[in-house]
Amino acid sequence: MLSVLLVLATDPLLSALFPGDFVAGRIPSETALLASTGLFIAISVLCAWLCARHAPGRPGRHVLWFMVLGELMGIAATVPNWSKGWPHWYWLSWLLSWPLSCWLGLWLAMRKRA
């Protein structure tokens, strides 16, 4: 839930940084989409790190299920939006960066424990 809330919370920030890009019916510029993807990756790493740090045991398993659930949510968001004119790289970048971000968050958490 935290990752979804944080990603949604970036909307006002992105709207302020890129006025006119994030409005209904308009596809944002590539620069705005890259910034959105960058924020998504940072939030993903943070939330995977939190998941691993607060896991009562076997943090790898907890982050794995966090990653699976997030990937399913990403596919559910990508499929209906695939043909709506947005660049395909945008949807694919989120789907491909999510598992890597989760792994990085887990790695950072495990590094801290050792």
DSSP string, 49-87: HHHHHT-SS-HHHHHHHHHHHHHHHHHHHHHHHTTSSS-
- pLDDT for the residue numbered 72: 97
Q: pLDDT per residue over 93-108, tens digit each?
A: 999 999 999 999 999 9
Q: pLDDT per residue over 49-70, tens digit each?
A: 999 999 999 999 999 999 999 9
Under a CB-based contact definition with an 8 Å cutoff, are residues 38 and 101 in contact?
no
Residues 19, 20, 24, 27, Cα dihedral to 10°: -110
Question: What mean pLDDT is reported for the chain?
Answer: 95
CB neighbours (10 Å) of residue 37? 15
Q: Hey, what are 16's tokens?
A: 């302020």
Question: The pTM is what?
Answer: 0.93
pLDDT above 70 (res 114) = no
Q: Is 28 helix (H, G, I), strand (E, B) or coil?
A: coil
